[in-house]
Amino acid sequence: MRARKVMTLALVLATAAGTTLAQTRRKPQADTAITNLQARMEQLTTELGGLRAQLAIAQQQPQQTGQTAAEGKIADLNDKLAGHDERLAVTESDLAGLKKLKVSGYIQARYEYLDYDPFVERATTTDKLGVKSTSTPGSQGQSVFYVRRGRFKLTYTPGPLSQYVITIDGAKDKVTCKDLYVVLTEPWTGLGISLTTGQFNWPWGIEVERSSSSREVPERSLATRSLFPGERDRGVKLTVKPHAKVTVDLGLFNGWGVDNSTFTWQDPTKQKDVIARAKVDLGFVALTGSYYDGQYYDPATSTTSLRSSVPASGSMTSTTTTADKRRYKGRIGGGVEAYYQFLPLGGTALLAEGVMGKEKGKDVEGGYLMLVQNVGDRLNLAFRGDMYNSDVKGGEYNHTWTLTPAINYWWDDAVRLTVAYDLTHTNMDAQMKHSNPANPAGAVLDPRDNKLTCQVQIKF
């Protein structure tokens, strides 16, 4: 298809640039608690050095000042040395514990203005399918302040062979647990083999695992949000690094994701969804390829209804049964990250991904292309175009394109201000043709459904 050719061309062009997004070049900040303890250790070490020098002098005094006085001073200095040694040992223990536990997170406070078609409240309107309806107050657009993400992450690393991660999110109207997983690393082969188990990001492509605190635009692309809702699932992942530039992930997952409301934590099927991903980082460009194979499962349903007219012989019921259904879910995708500084303004980054496959047995395809330009140390300009196509019936697609320009400004090393505008174009001609036979041509104007986002993010 034409959209598929466009995405393929975008991926090819992306490989001509340089790796690592421009924003990742910003320097991480040191942990304040660890810095304070290190300063305290340096102070105690200096004091110990001074006490040892005094002790060395005192040990030479018996020949000059008398045995009794010198011994008393030496004993006093030894007591001080013992006290400082104990305090230094406690400080070293505290520092070692803090180095094992890392606390991080971020808060995204937002204002959103939904720039929708203006309809009169409680007025009778006609939607794009030609169906008349009555609108309700606020249903055609709104502006709102809210907290999009409030993440608090604890990472405990007791040694080089294990790591434990917990991430809590307080966003919108609820508190949820995003990450709960354990990473075990084997020390024998030297291949960087690790096993991750619990609840964590699907190892797919680039955008799914990339933190929302680092992304230059407010939300992930429509294809990613549609195919990987919530970005996380429960399962196990094996990671192998056969070469310094090559990383391979192989995972088994329930397949429903953390946002599924039907199967919240259990899996009604024995079959697990499989994900495989390989990444090659060449320094000037990083290439990623991903594969997904799984199934959807719709459980059987049975509905019993009582007839309104009951004969004298007794009540009558009608039962409708729907058999369970399994539908294929498969995807293949590729992505590229590139970074190069060819302008005096700052680094330029290019990021692109494409995906195609089956979703609930129907064809889907999508992807995005994003260009990022740093302007000095504090200003960042980004522009992303993404598209998502879904098959409605017989190869007839619904298409959605979104263009998102964004401006990012770092107030300081911890705070970033973002302004972005989503311009969305939706082509529902295929759906109209089947939903409204009286209008087979499907000639309608695309409704205005754009969105302005203003965000303040603090990261620690």
- Domains for the chain: give ranges and CATH numbers: 2-459 (2.40.160.10)
The pLDDT of residue 342 is 82
Q: Of residues 269 and 57, which shows the higher confidence score?
A: 269
pLDDT band at 283 (very low <50, low <70, confident <90, very high): confident
Q: What integer is the mean pLDDT of 126-135?
A: 46
Task: Choose from 199-213, 300-314, 358-372, 420-434 the range with maximum mean pLDDT.
Answer: 199-213
Q: What integer is the mean pLDDT of 399-421?
A: 96
pLDDT band at 128 (very low <50, low <70, confident <90, very high): very low
pTM of the model: 0.74
pLDDT band at 58 (very low <50, low <70, confident <90, very high): low
What phi and psi, each to the nearest 5 degrees, are found at residue 428? -105, 30
**E-state strands within 282-324:** 285-298, 301-306, 317-322
Q: Of residues 19 and 328, which shows the higher confidence score?
A: 328
Specify whether the CB–CB gap between 375 and 26 falls below 8 A.
no
Q: What integer is the mean pLDDT of 297-318?
A: 64
The pLDDT of residue 264 is 81
Specify whether the CB–CB gap between 247 and 221 falls below 8 A.
no
Instruction: Find where tokens 């959209």 sit.
Output: 3
Q: What integer is the mean pLDDT of 322-328?
A: 80
Q: What integer is the mean pLDDT of 152-174?
A: 94
pLDDT band at 286 (very low <50, low <70, confident <90, very high): very high
- Of the given ranges (26-30, 118-122, 336-340), which has the lowest mean pLDDT? 118-122
Distant-in-sequence, close-in-space partners of 64: CB < 8 Å, separation ≥ 6: none
What is d(CA 264, CA 196) in angstroms, rounded to the nearest whole number? 20
Residue 65 has pLDDT above 80, yes or no: no
Tokens of 352: 């692109």
The pLDDT of residue 88 is 61
Distant-in-sequence, close-in-space partners of 272: CB < 8 Å, separation ≥ 6: 235, 252, 253, 254, 255, 294
Q: What integer is the mean pLDDT of 210-231?
A: 95
What pairs with residue 346 in β-bridges?
Answer: 343
Q: Which of 404, 418, 409 is nearest to 380 (CA)?
A: 409
Tokens of 64: 């000059």
pLDDT band at 322 (very low <50, low <70, confident <90, very high): confident
